[in-house]
Amino acid sequence: MAPFFDWGAKDSPKGTPVVVKMENPNFSIVEIDGPDAAFKPVEKSRGKNAKQVRWVLLLKANQAVGCVAWLVSILWAVLGTIKRRLIFRQGVDVASEKLGKGKLMFKIIKAFLVISLLILAFEVLACLKGWHYFENPDLYIPHASDIQGLFHLVYVSWLEFRAEYIAPFVQSLSVFCVVLFLIQSLDRMFLCLGCLYIKFKKIKPTINGDPFKSDDLEGSLDNYPMVLVQIPMCNEREVYELSISAVCQLDWPKERLLIQVLDDSDDENIQQLIKAEVSKWRQQGISIIYRHRSIRTGYKAGNLKSAMSCDYVKDYEFVAIFDADFQPSADFLKQTVPHFKDNPELGLVQARWAFVNKDENLLTRLQNINLCFHFEIEQQVNGVFFNFFGFNGTAGVWRIKALEESGGWLERTTVEDMDIAVRAHLSGWKFIYLNDVKVLCEVPESFEAYRKQQHRWHSGPMQLFRLCLPSVITSKVPSVLAYIFMNSFEMKISSVINIKLFADINMEESKLNISLLFVEKTDPSFLLFHIILHNSSFNHVYT
């Protein structure tokens, strides 16, 4: 075989191969492709000096202090929440004592909750002992020979009492709640169908011609009726400036417009701030008045009633009401007031709310869904087909004559807007809802503010229902409109009672197990679960 250095030669020499042996070579062989371990770097140990140790200790101490501060902040927040709730509870108790009502109801609710917790603990303990008597469709009550002890005897006696006396009542109540759910489902279904019809037919209130057009330039102001704008507020430090500024920029002749800032604030600093804001706009030629009541009675209804008692109010034909957190557009009056022209039976024009903070958090998004259903479907359908809906308390224009003939603002309930709407419609006045006219406002961003708002909105309808029911029955309003009144209050009732019916829902195979406080039963899930989904899904239509 030829040597390796002759492999590339063209002519290989011929001859006998010779083996050469080398002794004591003066070179070494290095393995190029050897294992990596031969070239593994040697790590040199390096000790930490005192400065580095000090920095490490400082970092650890900083982390520990931050953790402690975080725990303290959480504890402080919890204590603050407890303090606010105790203050709110004391305020509720004081208000209840002043009104002379509600104290007994609070005691009843507390007693009911305590009894419910005791019964729940009793049932849990019985379940842990293995006394599962509700697994079978028929209630099985052990005989005297099967009693295992005193506690077992008490539990069996409790079962007999429930089955004999409490179960029939709860069953009847459950059936009543299911009927209310069915009525509510049908109501919402018809509302959605009505809204689809309105969208398909493109039905909406319109203004005939240009009500402000006039050939006589000197007498053109006669086409603008006298309008009074009221802004009721109470301790509104954050939003008073925005609302007053928006109202003062309304596109309406200054000679035909008067703005009342109705301040019920008990903080003198806030009073001075609002007075300064009013003075600033008065210096710019705006007709604006600041009013403050020394005796705050009747809350918002009392504030509006006091403002309407002024002598100069008789010179005005319409009144627009905006809460302190509402910002109407400049053309609001030009979009609403013309609907009253040539329509003497019209008493109210209501605009829609638009929320500037609807995407702030999950709570604001849920409120936006709920209120969009209210405005887009409930208010619009009732306004188009029945000329009646509940006044929202703000962002609306009233004919002052309609307010006076309906009895004005009354302090008998906390829902003065619903009260005046019912009385005005019973007096024969009609309403118009403008879904395209939107007024900017805010929804509560915190749960505490939301809870207080809902307490104000829902504490009065039941009382108002009791006060208005005789008037609805004896009035000359057609039966269909009477149903609307009944239905609007029935929705409030069903929202409360249905909590009792579906207190605990457990999906188990193909059945819905409804565990009530006093009785357990197993019903087919398809009907009841359909009702729940039916009511929930309609809230998301058009939102």
Supply the residues annotated as catalytic: 264, 417
- Name the one residue in this structure whose structure tokens are 């202090």: 65
| Three-state DSSP class for residue 148 | coil
Are 206 and 235 contacting, i.e. CB atoms less than 8 angstroms apart? Answer: no
3-state helix/strand/coil string of 175-242: HHHHHHHHHHHHHHHHHHHHHHHHHHHCCCCCCCCCCCCCCCCCCHHHHCCCEEEEEEECCCCCCHHH
Question: Roughly what angle, to the nearest 10 degrees, separates helices 50-99 and 103-128?
Answer: 120
| Cβ neighbours for 367, distance < 8 A, ≥ 6 positions apart | 355, 358, 443, 444, 450
Q: What does R_g of the chain's alpha carbons equal in angstroms?
A: 39
Query: Minimal CA–CA distance to 445: which of 363, 331, 354, 337?
Result: 363
Pairing of strands 318-321, 288-292: unpaired
Q: Which regions of 366-411 does DSSP assign to beta strands (E)? A: 396-399
Rounded to 5°, angle at Cα 155 from 150 and 158:
125
| Cβ neighbours for 269, distance < 8 A, ≥ 6 positions apart | none
Are 332 and 249 contacting, i.e. CB atoms less than 8 angstroms apart? Answer: no
H-run or E-run covering 66:
helix 50-99
Instruction: Give whole-number Cα distances, 204 to 351, 422, 432, 437, in Å.
Output: 13, 23, 10, 11
